């Protein structure tokens, strides 16, 4: 027997190795440590303005576009937006790329002061808009709103898009994010399945809705209700919309403004209780462990009748939807006769964020590119391609649309001004995560409504107290 | 001649040391500094806020939950993996009737056990998502009478993660221990067998003491792996460490705060805490595993 220092040294080495490898995640961020202040962005110099070139961009200076690859790749860029822009500015070179990892690709470039001009900030790996605003990375797009529209020089861009898009793109009083599509949420079903079984869609009252769920359950044909269990956003979205319908838009405004007790409000409590009951009685077994694609595919296979989702559903499921499935959607029913908002109220919210980087080399060209995106031609083609309503007014006129999109458009126009939305998801991502996690537990009966409220209230208070997070307000 | 050899050594060392300093040491130092700022990752001037991040960290329930999960894995992952691997290695090498060879078919098993090690971790995670699917489409649930939410029930999810980690790690240690056992002289086993030792006492009295060094190394490696768990949790679970933070680990919280919430300062503070945990573990491992070696 002998003492062997060698083994100890080996151990020491592996221990040191552990010390080096482990906080690698922390060190990762360090690779991107900025070298110092690169100075405030210099105001872009505009060239000669003209009727055809209202922003006065240089007609030979290149710019760059980075597209989020959400399954479509960069098809809409190469097929729609680039050709349109090129017809007007044949000499401008557009460099472009598509990525699924928006944050990883672009964050170092933003921190380093060499960002691309136009950024499609979307997807699970998008950059936090709040952080971007806080750090002055967004170019003020008021220029875009005030510019004449691509199609008609007498109409400003401001008047060609939905007012809600301008409202939602405004951060800190400055319009800085172009939301390109107009998302609308509802409860989706297969018209074919409902017709075959004689089920009555579009219940007008909560009792009718529960009766419908009960009928489906009793029929034994399929489960009545599901949601993307792994992403409880899909169901908290519905709960908040119902809360707004019961108590009015102020309910959501107070939540967005992180007001104390906003989640304790009676309408929020009623809505949460109502959906917790659905979770307990009518949920498809296994929902909690399935993601959006799995639950949506279950619906395509006729295993479940109803699920809440946004208007992109039909497009997302196009490969697994059987022939004649006939997607259709209905809004939330009246909860009681004293609801603050009428039947047909929907959660409608512009989405697909594009922004121009304030510190990019040629920001005005980016703005001009966006002006082209908002032309009727580009917007219409985009609607056809991705099967989602546009923020450009009348973009879908004269287009042949799929049944689900037609149904969603009808629901949206029936809603008129009765639309709701919330903004904390974009403003405070940690808050979104907490609401999602708690709601998942609520739907599976592991959290009471009281505990659910308590947890979210606490998170809201934490964020409010966190000085490192920039606060936003809406009125 | 001495002069020449030192020049030779410096010539070889300069480049790696320089690269190490730039890509390892410098980011480290920077991470410590970033932990003292409220940097959100996209601007050029982090604001210095002192120890504020650390103060917040102490009140962050989810982070401490993650620490608890890492601690649990730190204890259970090495114990289970090493236990199972030792048992398999023993059967494969000296578990046969004669006591000097493996059980029948050991060569095939050796390959089969090593298989999970060859798979990329993301593939393992995607694979087990299907294995654990909570409806009848799941491999396990298709034979169970009542579906179990392996990854969707917060009480079970962490154990499912542990199961996958063990499944993935065992193969490597079977091979490691097999190599260790192969280096133990056969006559020791033969002598013990002649003296009438049963397989159990063969294992505990001969194999285990002679393998002690190898086991120590395995324990340190698995300890590192337990503190470093990330990809399996991130890819496999809902809400990246859910449901409801029931499977989250320190590395996942660092990643979430840095790359989802863009709170790079706060995430770096977590990284610093993780660094000290790791150093602490290493020191502890050195203390506890100090043991005299059997020479043969």
User: pLDDT higher for A395 or A226?
Assistant: A226
3-state SS of A116-176 is CCEEECCCCCCCCHHHHHHCCCECCCHHHHHCECCCCCCCEHHHCECHHHHHHCEECCEEC
List all residues of chain A from 440 to 459 with a beta carbon under 8 Å from chain B.
440-441, 444, 446
Structure tokens at B119: 């798979």
CB A333 within 8 A of CB A243: no
Nearest residue to A177 via CA among A111, A135, A129, A107: A129
Q: Out of A22, A229, A430, name the one closest to residue B152 (CB).
A: A229
**Residue A42, pLDDT above cutoff 80:** no
pLDDT at A44: 60
pLDDT at A332: 96
* Domain of residue A339, CATH code: 3.40.190.10
Nearest residue to B235 via CA among B222, B253, B258, B252: B252
Residues A144 and A288 in one domain: no
Residues A202 and A330 in one domain: yes
Query: Residue A40: pLDDT band by 50, 70, 90 thresholds?
Result: very low
Number of domains in chain A: 2
Query: Residue A9: pLDDT band by 50, 70, 90 thresholds?
Result: very low
Q: Out of B283, B285, B292, name the one closest to residue A1 (CB).
A: B292
pLDDT at A309: 94
**Residue A107, pLDDT above cutoff 70:** yes
Q: CA A184 to CA A41: how far, in whole Å? A: 36
CB A324 within 8 A of CB A192: yes
**Residue A15, pLDDT above cutoff 90:** no
Q: CA A158 to CA A162: how far, in whole Å? A: 8
Q: CA B63 to CA B65: how far, in whole Å? A: 5
Residues A198 and A327 in one domain: yes
Chain A residue numbers with beta carbons less than 8 Å from the beta carbon of B35 are: 26
Chain B residue numbers with beta carbons less than 8 Å from the beta carbon of A286 are: 133-135, 141, 147, 149, 152
Q: For B245-265, how does the pLDDT look when each residue is reduced to its tens digit (9 = 90+)?
A: 999 999 999 999 998 888 899
Q: For A410-445, how does the pLDDT look when each residue is reduced to its tens digit (9 = 90+)?
A: 898 888 889 899 999 888 989 999 999 999 999 999
pLDDT at B96: 67
Given CB atoms, is A280 within the 8 Å cutoff of chain B? no
CB A74 within 8 A of CB A67: yes
Chain A residue numbers with beta carbons less than 8 Å from the beta carbon of B149 are: 286, 288-289
A27:B149 CB<8 A: no
Residues A300 and A338 in one domain: yes
Residue A307 main-chain phi, psi, to 5 deg: -150, 145
Q: Which fold has domain B58-288?
A: MetI-like fold (1.10.3720)
Residues A378 and A449 in one domain: no
Beta strand A419-420 with A346-356 is parallel
Chain A residue numbers with beta carbons less than 8 Å from the beta carbon of B254 are: 23, 25-26
Residue A32 lies in a domain: no
Quick one: A70 exposed, middle or buried, by C-beta within 10 A (0-12, 13-18, 19+)?
A: middle
CB B136 within 8 A of CB A275: no
Chain A residue numbers with beta carbons less than 8 Å from the beta carbon of B236 are: none
Given CB atoms, is B231 within the 8 Å cutoff of chain A? no
Query: Residue A341: pLDDT band by 50, 70, 90 thresholds?
Result: very high
Query: Helix (H, G, I), strand (E, B), or coil: what is residue B57?
Result: helix
Structure tokens at A154: 């007498």
Query: Residue A215: pLDDT band by 50, 70, 90 thresholds?
Result: very high
Domain around A68? 63-183+349-413
Indicate the angle between helix axes B212-227 and B264-288, nearest 10 degrees: 170
Q: What percent of chain A has pLDDT over 90?
A: 56
Complex-level ipTM = 0.81
pLDDT at B134: 86
CB B245 within 8 A of CB B62: yes
Q: CA B93 to CA A165: how far, in whole Å? A: 70
Mean pLDDT calculated for residue range A347-368 = 92
Q: CA A441 to CA A449: how far, in whole Å? A: 10
Residue A448 lies in a domain: yes
Q: Output the average pLDDT for chain A.
A: 86
Structure tokens at B68: 């608890």
According to DSSP, residue B240 is labeled T
Q: For A133-190, how does the pLDDT look when each residue is reduced to its tens digit (9 = 90+)?
A: 888 899 999 999 999 999 988 999 999 998 888 988 998 889 999 999 888 999 999 9
Tell me which residue has tokens 């947890």: A455
Best of A1, A21, A23, A468 to disrupt the B interface (most B CBs within 10 Å) is A23
A22:B216 CB<8 A: no
Q: What percent of chain B has pLDDT over 90?
A: 35
Q: CA A122 to CA A108: how far, in whole Å? A: 17
Given CB atoms, is B156 within the 8 Å cutoff of chain A? no
CB A365 within 8 A of CB A85: no
Tell me which residue has tokens 């102020």: A250
Helix segments in A312-362, DSSP class H: 313-316
pLDDT at A14: 45
Residues A74 and A159 in one domain: yes
Structure tokens at B130: 């299907």
B35:A18 CB<8 A: no
Query: Residue B100: pLDDT band by 50, 70, 90 thresholds?
Result: low
Q: CA B268 to CA A353: how far, in whole Å? A: 28
Tell me which residue has tokens 């907490």: A434
Residue A38 lies in a domain: no
> Which of B94-103, B191-200, B229-238 has the highest mean predicted lDDT (pLDDT)?
B229-238
Mean pLDDT calculated for residue range B177-184 = 87
Q: CA A8 to CA B239: how far, in whole Å? A: 41
Select from A413, A432, A451 the last residue of a domain. Answer: A413
Separation in Å, CA A230 to CA A187, B152, B229? 18, 8, 21
Chain A residue numbers with beta carbons less than 8 Å from the beta carbon of B295 are: 1-2
pLDDT at A6: 41
Query: Residue A2: pLDDT band by 50, 70, 90 thresholds?
Result: very low
User: pLDDT higher for A417 or B36?
Assistant: B36
Residue A14 lies in a domain: no
Residue A161 main-chain phi, psi, to 5 deg: -120, 160
Nearest residue to B164 via CA among B224, B124, B118, B136: B124
Query: Residue A28: pLDDT band by 50, 70, 90 thresholds?
Result: very low
Indicate the angle between helix axes B61-94 and B264-288, nearest 10 degrees: 40
Residue A475 lies in a domain: no
pLDDT at A72: 65
Residues A227 and A140 in one domain: no
Query: Residue A217: pLDDT band by 50, 70, 90 thresholds?
Result: very high
**Residue A36, pLDDT above cutoff 80:** no
Mean pLDDT calculated for residue range A279-305 = 92
**Residue B293, pLDDT above cutoff 80:** no
CB A72 within 8 A of CB A386: yes
Chain B: give the shortest CA distance to residue A26, in Å.
5
Separation in Å, CA B285 to CA A8, A431, B4, B220? 10, 39, 41, 7
Structure tokens at B151: 């990854």
Given CB atoms, is B16 within the 8 Å cutoff of chain A? no
pLDDT at A394: 82
Torsion from C-alpha of A233, A236, A238, A242, nearest 10 degrees: -160
Mean pLDDT calculated for residue range B6-21 = 88
Residues A126 and A255 in one domain: no
Residues A339 and A290 in one domain: yes
Query: Residue A244: pLDDT band by 50, 70, 90 thresholds?
Result: very high
Tell me which residue has tokens 């806080």: A134
Structure tokens at B170: 């065992």
Q: b/e map of B251-287 (b: 16 or more CB within 10 Å)?
A: bbbbbbbbbbbbbbbbbbbbbbbbbebbeebbeebbe
Chain A: give the shortest CA distance to residue B58, in Å.
13
Separation in Å, CA B99 to CA A194, A276, B104, B182? 69, 62, 12, 13
Residues A87 and A151 in one domain: yes
Q: For A366-410, how does the pLDDT look when each residue is reduced to its tens digit (9 = 90+)?
A: 999 999 999 999 999 988 888 888 889 888 777 888 899 989 988
pLDDT at B294: 59
Residue A149 lies in a domain: yes
Structure tokens at A401: 């649309």
> Which of B212-226, B242-256, B276-290 has the highest mean predicted lDDT (pLDDT)?
B242-256
Q: From B237, which residue of chain A is nearest by alpha-carbon distance?
A: A230
Q: What percent of chain B has pLDDT over 70?
A: 93
Mean pLDDT calculated for residue range B91-105 = 72
**Residue A32, pLDDT above cutoff 70:** no
Query: Residue A30: pLDDT band by 50, 70, 90 thresholds?
Result: very low
Chain B: give the shortest CA distance to residue A229, in Å.
8
First CA to last CA distance, chain B: 39
Residues A314 and A432 in one domain: yes
User: pLDDT higher for A59 or A25?
Assistant: A59
A27:B267 CB<8 A: no
Task: Report the run of H or E that residue B166 belongs to, with start and end.
Answer: helix B157-182
**Residue B3, pLDDT above cutoff 80:** no
pLDDT at A12: 43
CB B40 within 8 A of CB B264: yes
Residues A341 and A408 in one domain: no
Chain B residue numbers with beta carbons less than 8 Å from the beta carbon of A298 are: 135
Length of chain A: 475
Q: CA A23 to CA B228: how far, in whole Å? A: 9
CB B104 within 8 A of CB B96: yes
Q: From A109, which residue of chain B is nearest by alpha-carbon distance?
A: B42
CB A157 within 8 A of CB A138: no
Structure tokens at B128: 């087990």
Query: Residue B99: pLDDT band by 50, 70, 90 thresholds?
Result: low
């Amino acid at each position: 027997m002998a003492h062997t220092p060698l083994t100890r040294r080996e151990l020491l080495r592996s221990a040191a190795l552990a010390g080096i490898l482990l906080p690698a995640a922390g060190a990762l961020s360090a690779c991107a440590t900025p070298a110092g202040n690169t100075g405030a962005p210099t105001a872009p110099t505009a060239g000669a303005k003209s009727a055809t070139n209202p922003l006065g961009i240089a007609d030979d200076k290149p710019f760059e576009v980075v597209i989020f690859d959400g399954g479509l790749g960069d098809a809409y860029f190469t097929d729609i937006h680039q050709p349109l822009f090129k017809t007007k500015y044949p000499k401008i070179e557009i460099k472009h790329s598509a990525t699924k990892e928006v944050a990883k690709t672009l964050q170092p470039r933003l921190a380093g002061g060499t960002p691309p001009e136009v950024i499609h900030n979307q997807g699970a790996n998008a950059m936090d808009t709040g952080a971007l605003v806080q750090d002055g990375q967004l170019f003020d797009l008021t220029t875009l709103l005030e510019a004449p529209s691509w199609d008609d020089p007498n109409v400003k861009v401001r008047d060609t898009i939905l007012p809600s898009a301008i409202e939602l793109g405004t951060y800190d009083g400055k319009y800085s994010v172009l939301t390109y599509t107009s998302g609308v949420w509802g409860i989706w079903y297969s018209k074919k399945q409902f017709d075959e079984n004689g089920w009555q869609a579009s219940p007008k009252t909560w009792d009718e809705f529960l009766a419908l769920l009960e009928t489906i359950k009793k029929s034994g044909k399929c489960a009545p209700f599901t949601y993307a269990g792994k992403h409880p956003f899909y169901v908290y979205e519905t709960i908040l919309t119902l809360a707004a319908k019961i108590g009015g838009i102020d309910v959501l405004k107070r939540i967005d403004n992180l007001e104390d007790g906003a989640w304790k409000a009676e309408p929020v409590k009623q809505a949460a209780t109502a959906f917790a009951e659905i979770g307990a009685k009518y949920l498809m077994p296994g929902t909690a462990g399935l993601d959006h694609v799995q639950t949506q595919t279950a619906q395509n296979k006729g295993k479940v009748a109803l699920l809440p989702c946004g208007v992109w559903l039909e497009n997302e499921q196009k490969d697994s939807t059987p022939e004649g499935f006939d997607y259709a959607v209905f809004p939330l029913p009246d909860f009681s006769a004293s609801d603050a908002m009428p039947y047909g109220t929907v959660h409608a919210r512009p989405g697909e964020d594009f922004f121009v980087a304030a510190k990019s080399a040629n920001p005005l060209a980016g703005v001009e590119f966006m002006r082209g995106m908002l032309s009727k031609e580009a917007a219409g083609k985009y609607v056809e391609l991705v099967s989602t309503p546009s923020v450009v007014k009348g973009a879908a006129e004269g287009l042949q649309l799929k049944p689900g999109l037609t149904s969603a458009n009808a629901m949206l126009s029936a809603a008129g001004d009765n639309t709701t939305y919330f903004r904390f998801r974009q403003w405070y991502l940690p808050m979104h995560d907490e609401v999602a996690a708690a709601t998942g537990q609520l739907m599976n009966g592991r959290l009471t409504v009281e505990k659910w409220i308590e947890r979210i209230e606490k998170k809201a208070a934490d964020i409010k107290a966190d000085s490192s997070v920039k606060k936003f307000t809406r009125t | 001649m001495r002069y020449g050899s030192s020049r030779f050594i410096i010539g070889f060392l300069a480049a790696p040391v320089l690269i190490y300093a730039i890509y390892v040491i410098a980011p480290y130092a920077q991470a410590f500094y970033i932990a003292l700022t409220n940097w959100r990752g996209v601007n050029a001037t982090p604001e210095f806020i002192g120890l504020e991040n650390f103060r917040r960290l102490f009140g962050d329930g989810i982070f401490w939950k993650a620490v608890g999960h890492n601690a649990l894995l730190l204890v259970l992952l090495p114990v289970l993996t090493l236990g199972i691997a030792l048992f398999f290695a023993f059967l494969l090498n000296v578990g046969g009737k004669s006591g000097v060879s493996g059980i029948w078919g050991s060569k095939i098993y050796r390959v089969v056990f090593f298989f999970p090690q060859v798979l990329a971790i993301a593939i393992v995670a995607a694979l087990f998502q299907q294995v654990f699917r909570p409806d009848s489409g799941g491999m396990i649930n298709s034979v169970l009478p009542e579906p179990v939410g392996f990854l969707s029930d917060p009480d079970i999810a962490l154990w499912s993660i542990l199961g996958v980690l063990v499944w993935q790690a065992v193969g490597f240690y079977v091979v490691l221990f097999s190599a260790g056992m192969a280096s133990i002289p056969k006559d020791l086993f033969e002598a013990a067998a002649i003296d009438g030792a049963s397989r159990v006492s063969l294992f505990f009295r001969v194999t285990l003491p002679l393998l002690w060094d190898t086991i120590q190394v395995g324990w340190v490696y698995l300890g590192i792996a337990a503190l470093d768990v990330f990809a399996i949790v991130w890819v496999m679970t809902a809400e990246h460490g859910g449901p409801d933070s029931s499977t989250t680990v320190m590395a996942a919280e660092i990643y979430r705060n840095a790359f989802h919430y863009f709170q790079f300062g706060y995430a770096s503070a977590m990284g610093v805490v993780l660094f000290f945990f790791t150093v602490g573990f290493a020191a502890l491992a050195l203390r506890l595993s100090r043991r005299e070696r059997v020479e043969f």
